[in-house]
Structure 1
Amino acid sequence: MPSQAYPAFKPCPCGSRQPYAACCQPRLSGERPAETPEALMRSRYTAYVLRDAAYLQATWHPRTRPAHLQLAEVRWLGLHVRRAAGNTVSFTARYQEGRNRHELRERSTFVQEEGRWFYLDGVEG
């Protein structure tokens, strides 16, 4: 369960410019699975923002999923999807840890099983 509520009418944290209720909220609540790798990546970013470890675990492929997930105490500042093609999504996520700002640049790989997308792994870049 997320550690904080997010207002349904506010813009979604994933940067889609849609209200949270029309974007990632149905995915995080389990009402609607992500239709594409990009949609799953955006919902996972939102889960990091909201500190929803259960959603992150549930959408991580069992082959590569960690047994326990310790979420860092950071403030997520924004997401930019650089490229989404096939089963990969390249993105930059900005965050702040203490007074220091950082960027996470990753190329994530996703797999689809039984109609559902899962995060498999990611490499920096």
Structure 2
Amino acid sequence: AAWLVASRGWTPLQHLEALTVDRARTLLRGGADSSSGEPSALERARVLCSWSESDPTAAAVASTVAIHSLVSPPSMNGKTGVVVSANASTGRFGVRVAGEAKALAPRPANLEPAAA
């Protein structure tokens, strides 16, 4: 699974989508550092919170997405990739598509959750 590769080396605190409040509290009280790792748990939380909860295109780092409606490069439309980064200041994601040398930087509107 591509998300395993994208999240390799993450600390337990960086897996925000899988943490309960109690588990996060336990990790933090046990000394987990919210600023360690790349991207850090704190950075991931800020990015996730910056997108509207009602936005169905908001993707989390390490999730698999389908790409659509890109003007440039149009050849990427219909392909799937893994979100490898998210930039709150630009509102774009870094998406790695298998076989491509460089990650794409699409807007959320050009992504949707990939079919399982």
With the length of structure 2 as denominator, give the TM-score of the two structures.
0.27
Q: Which has the higher helix share?
A: 2
With the length of structure 1 as denominator, give the TM-score of the two structures.
0.26
Q: Which has the higher strand share?
A: 1
